[in-house]
Structure 1
Amino acid sequence: MAADARGGRHEGAVAIITGASRGIGLGIAERLVAEGAKVVITARKPEALAEAVEHLGGSANALGVAGNAADESHQDEVVAKARETFGGLHLLVNNTGINPAYGPMLDSDLDIARKVLDVNVVAAFSWIKKAVAAGLGDDAHPGAVVNLASVAGQGASGVIGWYGVSKAALIHLTTELGYELGPDVRVNAVAPAVVKTKFAEALYEGREEKVVRAYPMKRLGLPEDVAGAVSFLLSSDASWVTGQTLTIDGGVTLGGAL
C-alpha cells in the first residue's frame, strides 16, 4: 500500500535515505512520507527504485536516484538532486550496508573486510560530510542524521563478526560527529537486532521459531519497528538527543544474546 502523505512531524522536510528500495530503508521512507517529508531514495537497481517511488506515492513525494552508495560522484548527484527537486535538504539516513561474510571472523577475506568497512563506515561518513557541506538543515528543520548500526556492533556474535566491527565503528562515528556537529546538526544511530528482511534472512530462515525464543518480545523485528525509532530521532521530539545509539532489539540483548 502506498504511503499517505498526510502531514505530521516532518511536514516540509526533505530527507535522503540510502539503500531504500526495500526492507528497512523503504520502511523508513514510508514513515517519513506519511509524516509529511519529501524523500530522495537510493539503491543500485533503477527498476527497484522506480517501484519504490510508485509505492511512496510517486514523484510528488519521492525521487529515486540509482547508484553505488560508496561512490562519491553518486553522493554528490543525490545531494544536488534533493536540493534541486524539493528545494532543500534537512535529514539524512545512512541505511546502506553490506555483509558478504558469514562465519568465523578469521575466515574473512581481507579484500572483503576492506569492502565492508568502505561501504558500512567510510561511505556513511562521506554522505554526512557532503550533506553538511551542502547546508543540511535550516531554521524550520534543523539538520539531523541517523545511521543504521546493529546490535552486532555492541557485542560478539560468532557468525557476523566483521560486520559487527564495521557497525561498532559506525556507532563511534555517530558519537564523535554528534559531539563535533552540535548544535547545528544532530547525529544519532539505531542498533536493531534481527529484522525480517531479505538482507537478514540467513540469520533466521527455516528456524524462526527457534530464533525468537531468545527474544523477550517473542518475535523478530519488522521494518516499521525501526522506522518509528528513526522518525523520532530525526524529529524535533529528539531535539536534545545527539551522539546516541538507540537499541531496537525486542529485548534480546537483555539476556546477553545477539
Structure 2
Amino acid sequence: MTSSYGLHGRAAVVTGATRGIGRAVARTLAEAGAQVCVSARNPDEVRRTARELGGVGLPGSIADPGHPEALTDLCLSTFGRLDVLVNNAATNQPYGPLMDADPALWREAFTVNVEAPLRLVQCAWHGWMREHGGTVINICTEGAGHVGPGVGAYGTSKAALLHLTQQLAGELGPAVRVNSVSPGLVRTEMARFVWEPGEDEIAAGLPLERIGEPEDVAGAVLWLASDAAAWITGADVLVDGGTRVRRARTAPPTTRTTHHLPGA
C-alpha cells in the first residue's frame, strides 16, 4: 500500500516553491521520488531550493506572460516529462475593504491566483499531459467558503480558482486529474499577520488545537499526486484542523429533552 504514494520516475512543477507551503510541497514530492522543477520570484532562493532538492528552478513572477511556458519548457527539457503540476504561487493583495481596493491590485490578484494557474495547465496539457496524462493540484483556501474582513480579493480569486479546478477536471479527464487543496490557517510568512498575534487563542478554538504547518498541506498534495488518489478528480481537500466545525466546541449546552415517537 505504501508504494502507491511513490512518485519515482515522475517530474513535478511547483510554483511559489521556496517558502512556506510551496517549499514543503516541493520537498515532500522530491522525497517521494519525483524530480522537481521549482519557481519563485527570488533568484537566490530558487537556486538554493533547486540545489537542495536535486532539481532545477526558474526565477520569475508567475504573472509574467512568458513564465508559464518557460517553466514548462525547463521541466520538459531537463526531465523529459511533466507529470505533476502544483499551482501554489499566490498573492493576498489588495488587503482591506473592497470599497478601497486598488483596481490594479485587484486585477493582479486574479492574474496571479486564477489566470496564471490556467496558463500553466494549458502549457502542461499541450506540452505533455494531453498525450501522457498527469495530475494538477491547485492550492486554494478554506476561506473561499466564507467571507472575512480584509481578504475579499484573495477569497474571491481563490473561489474562482476552486471553480476553475472543477471545470478543468471535467474537461481534461480521463487523461488528467485536477484537484485542489484548501488549507486553513498555516504557519507561513504570508499569514504571519494573522496567526502570530493570537496563535494560542486561535489554536484553542480548533478541534485539533493547533494551527497548521506547511507539511500538513504537503501531505495532502502528495496523496492527490500519487496513484493512491487515482479515482479522485474535481475534489477539494480541506486541510484546516477542523476550522469549519469549530463552532461545535463553543456552542452553549442545550437541555436534553425526551422525544416520544408516535405509537411508542
TM score, norm. by length of structure 1? 0.91
Which whole-Å CA distance do the structure 1 matches of 2:50 and 2:31 have between them? 13
Read off the aligned partner of 2:29 and give its amino acid letter. L
- Which structure would you say has the larger Rg? 2
User: Could you tell me the percent identity over the aligned residues?
Assistant: 38
Match among 116, 121, 124 for residue 128 of structure 1: 121
Which whole-Å CA distance do the structure 1 matches of 2:65 and 2:237 have between them? 28
Which residue matches 1:188? 179
Aligned length: 245
Matched, 1:66 2:59: yes
**Alignment RMSD (CA, Å):** 1.7
Which whole-Å CA distance do the structure 1 matches of 2:148 and 2:238 have between them? 16
Cα deviations across residues 49-108 of structure 1 (Å, max 9, x unaligned)?
12212332xxxx310111110223121111111111111111100000001233333222
Mean Cα deviation higher: 22-31 or 248-257: 248-257
Matched, 1:145 2:145: no
Which whole-Å CA distance do the structure 1 matches of 2:65 and 2:119 have between them? 7
Q: Is the 8 A contact 2:5 2:227 kept in 1?
A: no
Deviation, 1:255, is 3.1
Which whole-Å CA distance do the structure 2 matches of 1:224 and 1:38 have between them? 19
Matched, 1:106 2:106: no
Instruction: For residue 23 of structure 2, give the secondary structure of its aligned residue in structure 1.
Output: helix
Cα deviations across residues 135-177 of structure 1 (Å, max 9, x unaligned)?
12766xx300000000111111222121000010000000110
Equivalent runs, 1:35-184 vs 2, <5 Å: 35-56=32-53, 61-136=54-129, 142-184=133-175
Deviation, 1:217, is 0.8
Q: Which runs of 5+ in 2 are unaligned?
A: 249-264
Equivalent runs, 1:184-223 vs 2, <5 Å: 184-223=175-214
Q: Is the 8 A contact 1:178 1:186 kept in 2?
A: yes
Which whole-Å CA distance do the structure 2 matches of 1:256 and 1:19 have between them? 33
Match among 4, 15, 27 for residue 24 of structure 2: 27
Which residue matches 1:4? none
Which whole-Å CA distance do the structure 1 matches of 2:103 and 2:195 have between them? 26
Match among 221, 225, 235 for residue 234 of structure 1: 225
Read off the aligned partner of 1:88 and give its amino acid letter. R
Read off the aligned partner of 1:171 and give its amino acid letter. L
Which whole-Å CA distance do the structure 2 matches of 1:232 and 1:21 have between them? 21
Distance of aligned partners of 1:46 and 1:125 in 2 relative to their CA distance in 1, 3 Å threshold: same
Matched, 1:243 2:234: yes
Shift >6 Å, 4+ stretches: none
Which whole-Å CA distance do the structure 1 matches of 2:157 and 2:217 have between them? 19
Deviation, 1:256, is 5.6
Which residue matches 1:12? 9
